[in-house]
Every structure is written in structure tokens, then in C-alpha cells.
Structure 1
């Protein structure tokens, strides 16, 4: 009850424009807080950017419970957002795990608890095709071994030996985090050597084809971003050639101007 009252109070202060909220030894305020040049990709359920910055108490609890180690904390380059949670999909996308523990762990309301009951509500941003000509599917090329190696590097639960040998070992009593991340790694390994459509095949949205699909272009294929894309960034991490990017906080309609 106390936690709920505290969240409601802070939200009310933000709604009234009171931005001098002190937490973790830092006081926020001023134009820099509200006028960042661009917003980083925030975790699922993030409030609008100015509210998120005011509400986030930089506790790192969302980071600690993230099963895929996707969430990081901004460093000094984050300016007003130093210490706040963000996702860099080039290093690890969000895989829309069940129950969204990052939201449930947030004690301040920076991540909306109302969004925790359905991953379809997590509008983090939207994907775009940033470099179509680099797409391997356009030339009917396979997923290279370097993609497997990249995901090995991104998988933090591996032992030094597993990382070095590019081989996963059966360990006794693996944690849920290890189980989920190794499962993703094994899925990637199955695509190595096969024609690349990995961005669409491994999209974590519940109804994949509503968020992304492959469409024919010439003799090959390219990804098509569709209206249910929530901007989780998994496709960005999985793409072997940096074809895709995420525009944080934008909706499909804002970027594409129509519904698929």
C-alpha cells in the first residue's frame, strides 16, 4: 500500500510539472531533463520520456531481473539520464518475456505496471529498414557463422570456456536466465547455413507475422515491418548485417503513415 501511494504521489508531481524529484543522491530539473536530443530505447512499459526521467530512481532492479540481460544503465553520456535504464538492441534486444519482470520490479512507476499483463501493450518504438542493400535475404544468402559467434558474445550467462569454444555445455541446475538465453542461442545456431530470414523467424512478438515478415523483391526477399511491431529490438540484434534499426517511442503510424 505504501509503495502504491508513493508511486501515485510521484506521478501526480510529474503531472503538475514538479520535476525537482530527488533520488539516489541526484536532483533532476531544468530544460536538459525535458529536451534531450533523442530518447534511447527504454524498457517495456516506460512512461513518456520526461516522466520516465523524473520517476526512475536509478535502482537497477529492472536490470537485475531481466532474463536476457537486455537492460543497461546509462553512463555519463546519458546526460540528464545518467543511471537510468535503457536497451541497446545492437548488444541485446528485448525478447518480450512472459510477465515482463522488469515492469513488475520497478518500484517507482517509471515502468507502467498496467503493461505487464500483455507484451502487446509494450510500445517501445518501431523498427525501420535502415540499409536494405545489406540484407542477406535480398541475395538469397545464408546466415553466416559470425552471427552465431555474435550471439555467443551477447550471451552473458555462458562460462569463459563456452564463450571461447563456441559450445554450450549441460550444467547442473541451470538458472531460468541461463535456460532462456541458451535456448535463444540454440535457435540461432539452427539457422546458420540456411537462407537468412532470421529477423522474421525469431521475432518474439506473439503473432510474429503481424509485426514483421519477409516479402519478395526481385529474386530475393527483404523484411517488411508491420503494424504490430513494438520496437523490442530483437530483430536488430539478430540481423547479421545491420539492416534494421529501432526508432524509440515512435509508433508504426507515425513512421509509416498507414496501417498494414
Structure 2
């Protein structure tokens, strides 16, 4: 049995019992082989297709320098492709789709397409469900202080005291970058004690996050439904306390969901 087949069988075992969205996600991952998504990095907003991106990115780090949320990283020597190229690891820090997309504007080569200057044009990938049974909303579980603390740990611009107390102090002299990240933490802290729906409640898609993700009734609780406006920013992946979601880079809603609906109806 090949290594690829073993991986596929292992994934399908994990997918058993995931329901319609889980099955769609499972199909999406393996359909993704057709356009080399399974090993791909999530690229910053506006990234051109991967092979083109790798040839155009000059590893200058300008996108990283201007990112207001510290979402962008540079591939190190242990990476599988493109040492020095910019990418996003949504488990460490998702993209929050900031206004005017300074990362796109800062790119000197067009590896981040300068035409991608509005939210509808910055398509990065597609969110999928990979671990339905871990969803806290299904069991009506509430957001805890520890869940919030994870995101405080991801935030570099706050003080150690703010991080330890899990409470930010808004200062009039804070730079815009600090204000934006503190505002995110404030919104997160307001969710403590409420039933978990962090992925939908803090989705940064504007003007209407419900076009990208929403909570639907399922098995006595709620469950995230990925919708066609999702741009794959990865914020939901970072915010989810139990790793229910992940992003398929460059995938579209049609690639992941419409194709699988068709195969299930065939």
C-alpha cells in the first residue's frame, strides 16, 4: 500500500460519522489533489496561483512588516517550498481582512495581486470541517477564560500584564496596529460565558460575516456552516478552541462543496 493510500484511508476513518458537512470536507481534501492543495501553504491575501507566486515572491518581507495583525510569516529552512516566501499559519494567527489590505499594497512584484484591493478579490482558500465531533457548539458548551487565553498568547503587541490578566487597556497613544489587535481581544473577551460560536461571531468578512459562515441547528446544538462568500482567511481556524476547521489554500466553494453535492446526488 502506498504512503498516499495509507494517508487517504486514515483520513476516511476520521471522517466516518462526520455528517454532511464532514463528508463534503473529506471529499474536498481529496479532490484537492487535482490542483495540489494538500501540501500547500496558506498565502496572504491576493496571492497569485502557487507556482507563479513562488517565482514572483522575492522574499522581501514587506507584507510581513505592514501586517496589522502579525498574521504573515516567512518560510524557514525547514519548510517544504519557497524558503523566505510569505505564508499564514491560521493555527498561530489567522488573517483578519484588514481595511485596504496593506500587505497587497506593499508587495513590490505583484505576487500579491494589486487588483485584490477589496475583500471579494482576496480569495485565499476555503474553510472546511475536519473534526465535527469536537465542536463545542454541538454540546452547547460555553466559552471559557482558557479559550480566550489562547488568543491572548498569540498577540504580540500587548503587555505581559495584559496577557496574564486577559484584559487589555486601550491607550489613546496606541498605534493603529495595537488598537486593532486590542479591539479583537475585547470582542473575544465579550464572548466569555456565552455558548461557543466564536468562528461565526468573530468572522472578519465584511459587511456581512453570515455570508461566509453561520451557525445552524444540529443534533440539539449548533454547528458552523461554511458559505460561499468564505475567502479562507483562517480567522475561524485560529479562534476555534478544538480545531474543528482548517483551510484548503486556493480552493473555492465550488471546488469543495458544489462538486461533492453533485457526487452525492449522482
Partner Cα separation in structure 1 for residue 256 and residue 199 of structure 2: 19
List aligned pairs for 1:207-246, cutoff 5 A. Answer: 207-246=208-247
Partner Cα separation in structure 1 for residue 260 and residue 189 of structure 2: 34
In the other structure, the counterpart of 1:119 is 119
Structure 2: 5+ residue stretches without partners:
1-34, 262-266
Paired positions, count: 226
Shift of 1:89: 0.5
Tell me if the contact between 1:68 and 1:94 (Cα under 8 Å) persists in the aligned partners.
yes
In the other structure, the counterpart of 1:190 is 190
Partner Cα separation in structure 2 for residue 36 and residue 82 of structure 1: 18
In the other structure, the counterpart of 2:149 is 149
Partner Cα separation in structure 1 for residue 112 and residue 99 of structure 2: 16
In the other structure, the counterpart of 2:158 is 158
Q: Does 1:78 align with 2:74?
A: no
Runs of 4+ that moved beyond 4 A: 34-37
Q: Give TM-score, length-normalised by structure 2.
A: 0.81
Partner Cα separation in structure 1 for residue 108 and residue 97 of structure 2: 20
In the other structure, the counterpart of 1:251 is 252
Partner Cα separation in structure 1 for residue 179 and residue 217 of structure 2: 35
Q: Give TM-score, length-normalised by structure 1.
A: 0.83
Tell me if the contact between 2:61 and 2:74 (Cα under 8 Å) persists in the aligned partners.
yes
Partner Cα separation in structure 1 for residue 108 and residue 249 of structure 2: 23
In the other structure, the counterpart of 1:138 is 138
| SS of alignment partner, residue 78 of structure 2 | helix
Shift of 1:198: 1.2
Structure 1 residues 35, 194: closer, same or farther in 2, change over 3 A? closer
Query: Alpha carbon RMSD of aligned pairs, Å?
Result: 1.9
